[in-house]
Amino acid sequence: MAQNVDPYYAQRSDSSKHSDEGRTNPTDNNAVTKRLQKELMTLMMSQERGVSAFPEGENLFRWIGTITGPKETVYETQKYKLYLQFPNSYPYTAPFVKFITPCFHPNIDNNGNICLDILKDKWSALYDVRTILLSIQSLLAEPNIDSPLNALAAELWCKPEEYKKHVTDTYKQV
């Protein structure tokens, strides 16, 4: 009776398995590359308006994404660039995502870091680049002001005119 065991690890002790956890298995890297190529094709064929992403140069593990501000929000006329870096353990581990374009928002800090549960503890291997970008776009319209990274933005969220002024003043198209 055959077992579904990787022969590379079958002959090794448990302690050596743990010491290899941080190393990259070429087979795993190939699977991640194939997954990212598939996601790129899906994005390119998608009719989804307002989100796009492409690898940065030849490196398939680093992408530049773009989202447009959601309609009927203070972000509507703005276009934002984001940096996405995929780990070797993708899609089982969330990518690192950060705003390149300055964005005044309760859940985005001054360095572009994003507080979004699907990029942290609510990550699922079912998510892809498209769902990440759509989730961030949705976050712009519906922030979680109970868990802000930018306290000033959270405070001003309830004052639409002041909030809009800050959004406009801090926006710089990259």
Catalytic residues: 115
Q: How many CB atoms lie within 10 A of CB 151?
A: 11
DSSP string, 152-166: HHHHHTTSHHHHHHH
Question: How crowded is the C-beta side of 23, counted as CA atoms within 13 Å?
Answer: 8
CA distances from 98 to 3, 22, 24, 82, 158 (A): 42, 23, 24, 6, 25
For strand 59-68 and strand 51-56, is the pairing parallel, antiparallel, or unpaired? antiparallel
Helices (H), 46-128: none
Phi, psi values for residue 166, rounded to 5°: -65, -40
CA distances from 15 to 18, 50, 64, 100, 107 (A): 5, 48, 39, 41, 41
